[in-house]
Chain A
Amino acid sequence: GAVVSQHPSRVICKSGTSVKIECRSLDFQATTMFWYRQFPKQSLMLMATSNEGSKATYEQGVEKDKFLINHASLTLSTLTVTSAHPEDSSFYICSASLASARYEQYFGPGTRLTVT
């Protein structure tokens, strides 16, 4: 149980375009979803926390107008990278948690974004 999927697993886009990444909890309802960014050979950096039906809370230094997060249902959250640039190329990982166990997060397999 507690499986989280991400789509797509890899995406290549041209500079200036927008790309959407989906995060789904497959067998549970996720009250909270998280978006992380991971640079090569580094740890995960939390970008934002989203609760279903409310606005996401962004970490300091993360541009909310560039990284649009939508958490429209208890099983789906999306991250849209708007007007992407090469420096946005990274590995993006989402996670989800249950209301009954907020301390534990279940991670998706990640999405490799490359902006050319």
Chain B
Amino acid sequence: AQSVTQLDSHVSVSEGTPVLLRCNYSSSYSPSLFWYVQHPNKGLQLLLKYTSAATLVKGINGFEAEFKKSETSFHLTKPSAHMSDAAEYFCVASNDYKLSFGAGTTVTVRA
């Protein structure tokens, strides 16, 4: 069994400042891990994925995440937030074909 915990339900940042979204997972073995973004009334867009290769994963729109097995974490970061980053973010773990979703983190960006 696997589960995903997103430690923050809501993150608010000023435009141009760093963003950190925290995610911890539990799994019997190393899962594949993903971060998705969802804008209002839209589907999910893949930001980045970890599949047992490099532990530091770079994604689209300046996002990156680091897989830390010792901490069972896969935190998402971006050095400088943009207004368009305001959205819902989901951390997801995959074991074979079934996905486990975190509860989501709402990001708001202040001008």
Contacts and interface: CB of A to CB of B under 8 A. Distances in A.
Chain B: interface secondary structure?
Answer: strand
Interface residues of B, number: 23
Contacts of B44: 44, 93, 95, 107
Contacts, number: 51
A109 B43 CA distance: 4
A4 B45 CA distance: 11
Given A102-B96, A103-B97, A108 B43 contact: yes
B49 interface: yes
Interface stretch (B58-66, B75-83, B99-107): B99-107
Contacts of B94: 103-105
- The A contact surface, by secondary structure, is strand
Contacts of B70: none
B90 interface: yes
17 contacts: A6-B43, A34-B99, A42-B104, A43-B101, A43-B102, A46-B98, A46-B99, A91-B41, A95-B44, A97-B97, A103-B94, A103-B95, A103-B97, A104-B32, A104-B34, A107-B36, A108-B43
